[in-house]
């Protein structure tokens, strides 16, 4: 096994820490990519990995993505991510969460965690019993930010899809625009409901086929098998499940002129952004379009740290900026001949001093 700093996805990370707690059974990886702009902020993923090496890969890739995401969103936060390795049964105990909270607290505020795949608002509350460096906690009242960041992520993706449709299809209306959505959980389901509200035609798929079917029935869409969604002829393919789906084989299957969705690390490798561009497919860089959740939880955390109430109005103002940010990337991509992901990466790297 290579040293961590020899891993392909290691990118001069400031800290990569493996946390073990025998009593609770905790095994976790905390990765800080950059604290150039502020404390590293990013969620905790609770997942069972058949190959533990994939957990390290996730932590490295996701933390780097958070550096880029937070920088591009204009947040005074760096990039970090945590992965808690679940057993096959997904056993999660109060003792395990407490041990993880203590590990975060030991970093003295260098890493701020939040909810991600496999974690819940209740889990964030449990972690908060051991550290104040956690966000996504229940709001004090309806005017403040807090709780599940999923709906904010979904709204940002919705704005991004609207921007992509306007840029590539030349229309500000989503009426009749066919969107194929991969993943119908908190984020993908939220995106689907927002799109349906503006008259979009929906094809839905999820590894939980019953969930996709139920949502399709609710929204008047069509459900297809999870393995068929990337072959759907549509106007927009919106990946909202796990990442690394845009590899050579996946891109070859696409029958859509736009890819715009919330899954993290959609490109299997950096060169796949150029493969998309070569096919004439407009790509919304994932860490730009899916920034809604971190915008919400970061503003919640910063307000609490300064003893101020958080503002839903400010969150929604920043979510709307996602449209303009994507359009600027696509405009520069066209002018420079570089793929959209290359343009976004260059912008983000400048912002974090790299």
Same domain, 173 and 247: yes
Nearest in space to 294 (alpha carbons), one of 29, 47, 104, 72: 72
Least confident range of 89-98, 286-295, 306-315: 306-315
Residue 168 lies in a domain: yes
Same domain, 170 and 94: no
Same domain, 235 and 122: no
Same domain, 121 and 208: no
Residue 305 lies in a domain: no
**pLDDT by residue (tens digit) across 5-34?**
988 899 999 999 999 999 999 999 999 999
Same domain, 208 and 268: yes
Same domain, 238 and 336: yes
CA 145/CA 338 separation, integer angstroms: 37
Same domain, 194 and 228: yes
34: domain CATH number? 3.40.50.10860
How long a stretch of residues is the chain? 354
The percent of residues above 70 in pLDDT, for the chain, comes to 100
Same domain, 183 and 121: no
Residue 117 lies in a domain: yes
- What amino acid positions are annotated as catalytic residues? 81
Instruction: State mean pLDDT over 327-346.
Output: 98
Same domain, 46 and 171: no
Strands 201-205 and 222-223, bridge-based pairing: parallel
Instruction: State mean pLDDT over 209-228.
Output: 98
Same domain, 157 and 121: no
Residue 312 lies in a domain: no
Same domain, 210 and 347: yes
Please compute Rg for the chain using Cα positions. 19
Residue written as token pair 């937070």: 70
pLDDT of residue 142: 75
Q: Read off the pLDDT band of 202 (50, 70, 90).
A: very high
The total number of structural domains in the chain stands at 2
Least confident range of 45-59, 190-204, 326-340: 45-59
**Count of C-beta atoms within a 10 Å radius of residue 120:** 13
Residue 72 lies in a domain: no
For 220, the domain range is 150-290+323-351
Same domain, 158 and 276: yes
Q: What is the DSSP string of 264-320?
A: SS-BSSTTHHHHHHHTT-EE--HHHHTTHHHHHHHHHHHHHHTT----HHHHHHHHH
pLDDT of residue 1: 59
Residue 259 lies in a domain: yes
Residue 54 lies in a domain: yes
180: domain CATH number? 3.40.50.720
Terminal alpha carbon distance of the chain: 28
Residue 318 lies in a domain: no
CA 340/CA 337 separation, integer angstroms: 9
**pLDDT by residue (tens digit) across 242-285?**
888 999 999 999 999 999 999 988 999 999 999 999 999 999 99
């Amino acid at each position: 096994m290579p040293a961590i700093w020899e891993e392909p996805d290691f990118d001069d990370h400031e800290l990569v820490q493996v946390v073990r707690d025998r009593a609770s059974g905790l095994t976790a990886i905390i990765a800080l990519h950059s604290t150039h702009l502020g404390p590293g902020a990013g969620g905790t993923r609770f997942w069972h990995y058949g190959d533990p090496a994939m957990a390290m890969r996730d932590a490295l890739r996701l933390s780097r993505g958070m550096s880029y995401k937070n920088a591009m969103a204009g947040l005074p936060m760096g990039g970090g991510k945590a992965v808690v390795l679940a057993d096959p049964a997904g056993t999660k105990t109060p003792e395990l969460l407490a041990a993880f909270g203590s590990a975060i607290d030991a970093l003295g505020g260098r890493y701020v965690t939040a909810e991600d795949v496999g974690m819940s608002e209740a889990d964030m509350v449990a972690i908060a019993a051991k550290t104040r460096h956690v966000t996504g906690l229940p709001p004090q009242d309806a005017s403040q930010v807090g709780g599940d960041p999923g709906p904010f992520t979904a709204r940002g993706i919705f704005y991004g899809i609207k921007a992509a449709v306007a840029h590539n299809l030349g229309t500000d209306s989503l009426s009749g625009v066919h969107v194929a959505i991969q993943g119908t959980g908190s984020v993908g389901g939220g995106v689907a409901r927002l799109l349906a509200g503006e008259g979009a035609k929906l094809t839905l798929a999820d590894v939980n086929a019953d969930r996709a079917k139920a949502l399709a029935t609710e929204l008047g869409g069509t459900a297809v098998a999870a393995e068929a969604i990337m072959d759907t002829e549509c106007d927009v393919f919106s990946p909202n499940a796990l990442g690394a789906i845009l590899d050579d084989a996946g891109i070859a299957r696409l029958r859509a002129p736009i890819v715009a969705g919330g899954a993290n690390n959609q490109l299997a490798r950096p060169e796949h952004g150029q493969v998309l561009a070569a096919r004439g497919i407009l790509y919304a860089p994932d860490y730009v379009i899916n920034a809604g959740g971190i915008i919400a939880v970061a503003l919640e955390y910063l307000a609490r740290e300064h003893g101020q109430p958080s503002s839903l109005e400010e969150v929604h103002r920043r979510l709307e900026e996602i449209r303009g940010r994507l359009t600027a990337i696509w405009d520069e991509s066209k002018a420079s001949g570089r793929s959209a992901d290359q343009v976004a990466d260059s912008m983000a790297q400048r912002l974090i001093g790299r």
